[in-house]
Structure 1
Amino acid sequence: IEATSGTDEPVSRELVSVARALLLSAESYGNDPDIEMAWAITAMQHAEVYYYKLISSVDPQFLKLTKVDDQIYSEFQENFEKLRIDILDPEELKSESAKEKWRPFCLKFGGIIEDFSFKQLCRLT
């Protein structure tokens, strides 16, 4: 990774460090709080865009975020039928048993959805 952007402007060491960190496999980190915070910030930025520019301006009944929304929802209900989405427990979501369920669920959408394993947002309807 070079320390310049495509415009001859220097790139911060922090940005280069984050870029290098994101190239490593997930297994290299476990639950590294710094990596989790980086993903959380990105997820929040995506949520703000979706909420302010899309979700709040379209009737949710007609809203489709992907071509496979119905499949995602159906498989989510099937795989996580006991998950209480009204009261999410972060520690429960980070548990090994939860990871064993989330990984295969996310991998089903590899090649179908861009950034399929990047982050997940749960939305109450």
Structure 2
Amino acid sequence: MAAAGLAGLGPGEVAAAAQALALPAESFGNDPRVELAWAMKAHQHAQVYFNLISSVEPKFLKLTQLDERIYEQFRGTFQNLRVDVLDPEELKSEAAKEKWRPFCLSFEGLVEDFNFGTLLRLDSRGEYSEENSILATRIQFLAIEIARNREGCNEDVHRRGRGATGERNHGGES
């Protein structure tokens, strides 16, 4: 995986790759160092988020200052989209892209890095894995994960995470 490849990079190489991520995409074509840096960043984000929903009751999570707006606009645009188990066609088909594009662009300038690539779990009950992950934009990730948190889809992950650590949420049982 990407993390294993990063172990071979020195601090200067990691810093250079991270700095490259700030440049416009046209600047590099298919530079493998950039792909590796992106993969590292996406993998780290996925790990942090999964640990978060494993340890904190998802219904109480606030992912951005705009969670309410993102959720309302998402559900207004995608009323019937199942968020518990995603169909990749609902994100990647040409028809889906035509529907997602205006939604995503409406958050340009409002949500930092709204169009950066990130990993999204297909089945909300599962962990990040090659089979259970898809590449999505950050605003798609946020919209779907905010909906999953509010609609109870991430509760299984939280219950399993609590069971593994033996921790109890003192705010009440879920």
Structure 2-normalised TM-score?
0.47
User: Aligned in 2, Cα 1:40/1:82: closer, same or farther, shift over 3 Å?
Assistant: farther
Q: Deviations over 1:56-91 (max 9, x none)?
A: 332323221100101111111111112122332213
Aligned position for 1:3: none
- Give distance in 1, aligned partners of 2:103 and 2:42: 18
How far did residue 39 of structure 1 move? 6.4
How do 1:1-125 and structure 2 match up within 5 A?
Answer: 11=13, 19=20, 23-24=24-25, 42-52=41-51, 54-118=52-116, 119-120=137-138, 121=141, 122-123=144-145, 124=148, 125=152
Shift of 1:96: 1.1
Percent identity reads 56
Partner SS for 1:61: helix
Instruction: Quote the residue 1:30 is aligned against.
Output: none
Structure 1 runs (4+) deviating above 6 angstroms are: 38-41
Q: Given residue 98 of structure 2, which amino acid in structure 1 is its aligned partner?
A: E
Aligned-partner Cα distance in 1 for 2:115–2:108: 8
Question: Residue type matched to 1:109 in 2?
Answer: F
Distance 1:59 1:88, change over 3 A: closer
Query: Number of residue pairs matched?
Result: 107
Higher RCO (CA < 8 A, seq sep 6+): 2
Contact (CA 8 Å) 2:104, 2:114: kept in 1 or not? yes
More strand by percentage? 2
Distance 1:116 1:95, change over 3 A: same
Structure 1 residue ranges without an equivalent (≥5): 1-8, 26-33
